[in-house]
Amino acid sequence: MPNADLYDHGRAAGGWLVNKDVAVEVRNAVKAFGQGDSAVRALDDVSVDIRKGEFFTLLGPSGCGKTTLLRLIAGFETPTSGEILLDGKDITQDPPNRRPVNTVFQSYALFPHLTVAQNIGFGLEMQGRPKAEIAAVTANMLALVQLGPMAQRKTSQLSGGQQQRVALARALAPQPKVLLLDEPLSALDLKLRKEMQIELKRLQLETGITFVFVTHDQEEALTMSDRIGVMSAGKLQQIGTPREIYTSPLNRFVAAFIGETNFLSGKVEPGGVRLPSGDLVEASGTEGRSGQVTLAVRPEQVRLTRAGEPGALAATIANWVYFGTDTHCHVTLSDGTQVVARLQNPASGESGLERGKPVALRFAPGAAQVLGD
């Protein structure tokens, strides 16, 4: 996939410009582990601009390289090749203690021999700030994460959610230019995780600090982020707003990883894509494409209508599953392709769905999307 497509700004004709709106710029980062033929490329030529003040999420399955990219920005790893810029300044070779970037670790990594307040003040103390300032900032941070009464406790006496807040406060206290968060919510139970999602978003808006958040949870990514970078196999597959990523996935990986998707194969023809069943489907993204392509359609964009309706695809109901808010109806097209339609349940009465019943399918306008390879 051509990398240039991923960029929506920042690269003027003919050269690299320092963009005042960009906090972190990763240029062609490669990170290989091991040597020779057995080397594994955890990051394979990744470039991304993270804007100032945005909540940027790196989303992908485990082993996709998202944590490696985070560790590269933090300085815990050095790239095999490529550069990392912070506010336009090359920091690729700087050790972590010289980067104005702080991390919230997955394991929290709180210092067990220090109190909550000492943990939060640690960064400022290492920076050699005056005692009065450390005390003031620590008090502010404790208030920000609502842990005031816990200041003198040891961190082992706190619950998981409280430890999480200490880790956040500790990383925010030195007012980093960028806050890196490495799957910080994965150790929390569902209810706490939901609360912390809202809390994190609030902290980001209140502090105005750029957040780079790593997660494998698509829902977390969609609900919290300003922009998402979807990663797989060491490459950035797509960068965009949650809406762009969800409604216009660039390729099959992104479409399948985020939400549920129906995949249909077909041939590009004037006016749309011709399915094996003979039906012509209107689709976006056909420009410049020819031959066999894959179409993606979200289940909630599939409508069921009466069999025989002109312009609709003939199908039979194979099965349906009731989910409360909606019903997932599995239908079979005349060529055997399975399609899932997510139908909103009526307020009362029966859905009228029956196994084996002939129906017809329609896709909402703009719902069918031709995927890249």
Partner 1 sequence: MAERAFSATRLPGFATVAIVVFLALYAPIITLVVFSFNDANSVAVWGGLSWRWYQVAWENTLVKEAAVRSLIIATSAALIATTVATMAALGTTRRAAFRGQTAIYVIINQPLMVPEIVTAVALLIFFAWIKVATGYQGLGYLIAAHSAFCIPFAYLPIRARLEGMDLSLETAAADLYATPWQAFRRVTLPLLAPGIIAGAMLAFVISLDDVVITEFVKSGGQDTLPTYMLGQIRRAVTPDVNAISTALLALTVILLTAFFLLTRKRD
What are the residues binding partner 1 (CB under 8 A)? 74-76, 95-98, 101-103, 105, 107, 109-113, 122-123, 126-127, 170-171, 174
Give 103 or 369: the residue with its C-beta nearer to partner 1.
Answer: 103
Q: What angle do CA 199, 202, 205 make, to 5 degrees?
A: 150
Give 142 or 361: the residue with its C-beta nearer to partner 1.
Answer: 142
Give 97 or 348: the residue with its C-beta nearer to partner 1.
Answer: 97
* φ, ψ for residue 3, nearest 5 deg: -65, -30
Give 112 or 288: the residue with its C-beta nearer to partner 1.
Answer: 112
Give 74 or 117: the residue with its C-beta nearer to partner 1.
Answer: 74
State the minimum distance, in angstroms, from the CB of residue 338 to partner 1: 45
State the minimum distance, in angstroms, from the CB of residue 39 to partner 1: 16
Give 179 or 254: the residue with its C-beta nearer to partner 1.
Answer: 179
